[in-house]
Amino acid sequence: MKRKEFDDTLLEGSGQEFVRGLVANVPDDDLSMAWRSSLNERLLQTAHVAPKKQRMAWFLRPAMGLAFASALAAVLMIRMSPPSSSIVRTTGSLEAALVRDHEQNIVMSDVAGLGVNPMESRPTDSNLGDDWSEVDFESL
Amino acid sequence: MELCIGATGRFVKQNSEPSVEAALIEKCRRQDFEAFGKLIDAYQNRVFGFVKRMVPNPDEAADITQEVFIRAFQNFARFDGRSSVRTWLFRIAYHLCVDRARKVERTPTHVGLVDSENGEEIEVSDDRWQPDQILIDEELMEVVEQGISTMSEKLRSVLLLHDKEDMQYDEIAQLLEVPIGTVKSRLFLARAHLQNVVRQYLGAQAPSAK
């Protein structure tokens, strides 16, 4: 249903114009200098707060991005890590490998004796001569 | 080419170059205190006059007026220039007054076309009546102020913006976000109410509502 258009002539009557004149002549109050001073202070505070916020935003935006990326990476790593059963299997094969290695070392030492592997070498009496100084030689 | 404050408290371009006001607005966008100070000088009393009549407490009105300029200063970068600075400032002021009214949950006295006391329809105007003959004195102004304060917020805002601030219907419609027809009908009702108040004050000397 279309609304009826407002009749503009209603606003042009002398009574309406009289009221318009009255309202237009209603006096304005002036604001005090104290009010203006207070406003200036508030505006200055506002102007100082704005760059602070910008600086904080400059720091916080990348920091928050980095934190989000780290959290995402952590979640992905946890999800992609192998289940605990595989760890058991790995441990079993490791034990077997250690045992095999140990047995092999025993066989090797039985066959060739100590010293095949430089790590297994022990200091012998022949090495004692290394500690002699030149003075000792001269005294002989 | 100089921008100054006219007698009406608005920007007056002595040489009619539109770039002067545009330059001032541009400075305000960059939060230039001096430029914004000129804007405050031009509009502070007018904005305060509007707010004071929308909010009954003068101290609160002064605070809201400060808030209007602070918000304008903070958000000047968002001012798109589609409306005038004056319309924009009054829009901020209007919304702050409405927000404040919502907070205090004040119930305004609604005024309609029908006189609530007598149940009679308010008549419109009398062409024989000569308004110039009425002496506009302080007492009458107080009555007018009182009449304005007893209106609903919707009627009051339209009356003040049109008759006091001399805004156009389309400007007010844009500011209040209502159709132009609504602005006109509210203006008519507001004036009719005020006419009724003044008629009661003036008694037998007052013109009839029509």
* Nearest in space to B206 (alpha carbons), one of B125, B151, B138: B125
Name the percent of chain B lying above pLDDT 90.
42
Q: What is the pLDDT of residue A35?
A: 93
* CB A6, CB B185: distance < 8 Å: yes
Q: CB-CB: which of A6, A38, A46 is closest to B74?
A: A46
pLDDT exceeds cutoff 90 at B72: yes
Q: What span, in angstroms and rounded, lies between the C-alpha atoms of B79 and B88?
A: 8
3-state SS, residue B167? coil
Residue B94, pLDDT score: 94
Tell whether the model's pLDDT for residue B68 goes beyond 90: yes
- Sequence-distant contacts of A7-13: CB under 8 A, at least 24 apart: A8/B184, A10/B124, A10/B188, A11/B184, A11/B187, A11/B188, A11/B191, A13/B124, A13/B125, A13/B126, A13/B127, A13/B210
Would you say B166 and A24 are in contact if contact means Cβ atoms under 8 Å apart? yes
Nearest-by-CA chain A residue for B147: A23
What average pLDDT does range B88-93 have in this prediction? 94
Closest A-chain CA to B183: A6
Confidence at residue B73, expressed as pLDDT on a 0 to 100 scale? 92
For residues B171 and B174, give the distance between their C-alpha atoms in angstroms, rounded to a whole number.
5
User: What is the CA B201 to chain-centroid distance, rounded?
Assistant: 24
A5-53 pLDDT, tens digit each: 777 888 888 888 999 999 998 888 888 999 999 999 999 888 777 666 6
What is the rounded average pLDDT of the residues A42-67? 78
Which residues in A lie closer than 8 A to residue B65 (C-beta atoms)?
31, 35
Helical packing angle, B58-74 and B85-104, nearest 10° = 130
Model confidence, pTM: 0.61
Mutate to test the interface with B, among A2, A22, A28 (most CBs of B within 10 A): A22
Count of CB atoms situated within 10 Å of the CB of B185: 21
| pLDDT band for position A125 (cuts 50, 70, 90) | low
ipTM: 0.70
Q: Quote the pLDDT of residue A82.
A: 65
DSSP state of A5: P
For chain A, give the percent of residues with pLDDT over 90.
17
Q: In this model, does residue B134 exceed pLDDT 60? A: no
**Residues 28 through 57 of chain A touching chain B, CB cutoff 8 Å:** 28-31, 35-36, 38-40, 42-44, 46-47, 50
By C-alpha distance, the chain B residue nearest A37 is: B66
**Contact B42/B8 with Cβ under 8 angstroms?**
no
- Angle, CA B54 vertex, CA B61 and CA A21 arms, to 5°: 115
The secondary structure of B56-121, three-state, reads: CCHHHHHHHHHHHHHHHHHCHHHCCCCCCHHHHHHHHHHHHHHHHHHHHCCCCCCCCCECCCCCCE
Question: What SS3 state is found at B3?
Answer: strand
Residue-level pLDDT at A81 = 74
Nearest residue on chain A to B131, judged by CA atoms? A18
Inform me whether the C-beta atom of residue B140 falls under 8 Å from chain A C-beta atoms.
yes
Q: Between these two residues, B9 and A111, which has the higher pLDDT value?
A: A111
> What pLDDT is attached to residue B148?
92
